[in-house]
Structure 1
Amino acid sequence: MTRVIADITVSLDGFVTGPNAGPTNGLGDGGEPLHTWVFDDDPVNRQLLSDGTARSGAVIMGRNLFDVVEGPEGWSDDIGYGAAEVGKPPFIVVTSSEPESVRLTNLDWTFVTTGLQDAIAVARRRAEEVSAARGADLDVVLMGGGELVGSAVMAGLVDMLSLHLSPMVLGSGTPLFTGGSPRTFVQRTVIVTPTATHLTYDLV
């Protein structure tokens, strides 16, 4: 069964980037330590990245994040989806307009201009196609940015929330949640490593 999973790294005070995030400053001012766990040599972190990349049948991102990974300092042959895993599932971008050109032509891009719900429907269809081809149940993963993930969670559009809690306080930046009605979660797993606490929740 294909699940929709929101997966993102967040600071102790709830920010997914520092201030002034943009195409050439993806994690914002002071935000680089958020992803220390992604690049360290801890075997548990390495396994979590590998497992997460392998389970991704399709990946959704917002236009701001697309501009970061597509930019000159973004993804490459060595660093991509899942960091050094460089996974290549279908990527679905939620955007108001398609880009005029794409640098990363070796990746499978689909641009959805009609909103997040339509993007999830497209991603679910693509993930089910990949699942059938591989003979395994794969998921749709919302990888960011913060506004897209936060709004999807608060709207009840995901089945599971996977948070990687970085042991730092940013003070300001891009918040994961910016309000909305209260929601209840069921905590499923907690995995602690030296550079992050990995938490998973089911949505009620």
Structure 2
Amino acid sequence: MTRIIADISVSLDGFVTGPGPGPDNGLGTGGEALHTWAFSADPGDRRVLREATTRSGAVILGRRLFDVVDGPHGWDDTSGYGAGEVGRPPFVVVTGSRPQSVRLADLDWTFVTTGLPDAAAAARERAEAASAGTGRDLDVVLMGGGATISSALDAGLLDILTLHLAPVVLGSGTPLFTCGAPRSLVRRSVTPTPNATHLTYEVL
């Protein structure tokens, strides 16, 4: 069964970037601390990253996040999706318009201009095709940004919400949750490590 899983790092005060994020400063001031766990040698962190990324049949991201990862200071051979733990799943970008050019042209990009539900449907189709091809159950991973995940939660598109709670208070930045529709969650797992508390919730 292909699930849609939102997976994102967040500060103790609820921000997914520090203040002043942008294409040249993707995580904002101090935001790098949110992802210390993803580059850690801690066995618990490595296991969490490996288990999450190996189930990635397709990945959804919003246009602002795409502009960061495809920008001049974005992903490279050492800092792409999964930090070396996974191959190259197809990426589906929710956007109002297609970009004029793509720097990371060796990745499989699909740009959906008709809204998040259509992007989710396109990503699910890609993940199901990958599942059939590999014989393994693969999921759709919604990696961000914060507004895209919040919108997906409000729209009832998520099956699972995974948060990597970093031990940092940023004070301001991009909030993960805004005033949206109430949702009930059931906690399914908690994995504490020195760099984060990894939380998995089922969305009811």
Q: TM-score with structure 2 length normalisation?
A: 0.98
Distance 1:24 1:82 in 2: 21
Match of 1:44 in 2: 44
Per-residue deviation, 1:84:
2.8
Aligned-pair Cα RMSD in Å: 0.9
Corresponding position of 2:146: 146
Distance between the aligned counterparts of 1:9 and 1:156, measured in 2?
21
Query: Offset of 1:154 from its aligned partner?
Result: 2.1
Q: In the alignment, which residue of structure 2 is the partner of 1:189?
A: 189
Q: Distance in 1 between matches of 2:81 and 2:57?
A: 12
For 1:198, give the aligned amino acid. H
Instruction: Report what 1:89 is aligned to.
Output: 89
1:1-204 residue pairs with structure 2 within 5 A?
1-85=1-85, 87-204=87-204
Q: CA deviation at 1:142?
A: 0.2
Indicate how the Cα distance of structure 1 residues 86 and 138 shifts in structure 2: closer, same or farther if over 3 A, else same.
closer
Give the letter for the 1:146 counterpart: G
CA shift for structure 1 position 86: 5.4
C-alpha distance after superposition, 1:136-182 (max 9, x if no partner): 11000000000001111122111000000001111110000011222
Matched-pair contact (CA < 8 Å) for 2:54–2:85: no
The alignment covers a number of residue pairs equal to: 204
SS of residue matched to 2:81: coil
Query: TM-score w.r.t. structure 1 length?
Result: 0.98
Report the 3-state secondary structure (helix = DSSP H, G, I; strand = E; otherwise coil) of the residue aligned with 2:84: coil
Q: Secondary structure at the match of 2:137?
A: coil
Q: Secondary structure at the match of 1:143?
A: strand
Runs of 4+ in structure 1 deviating by more than 4 angstroms, as ranges, are none
In structure 2, C-alpha distance between the alignment counterparts of 1:122 and 1:84, rounded to whole Å = 25
Tell me, in whole angstroms, the C-alpha distance in 1 between the residues paired with 2:113 and 2:50.
31
Instruction: State whether residues 54 and 86 of structure 2, in contact with CA within 8 Å, keep that contact through their aligned partners in structure 1.
Output: no
Q: How far 1:85 sits from its partner (Å)?
A: 2.5
The answer (yes or no) to whether the contact 1:127–1:139 under 8 Å persists in 2 is yes
Deviations 1:81-130 (A, max 9, x none): 01233531000000000011111111000000000000000000000000
Secondary structure of the 1:152 match is: helix
> Which stretch of the first structure deviates more once superposed, 142-151 or 82-91?
82-91
User: Aligned partners of 2:183 and 2:31: how far apart in 1?
Assistant: 27
Identity %: 68
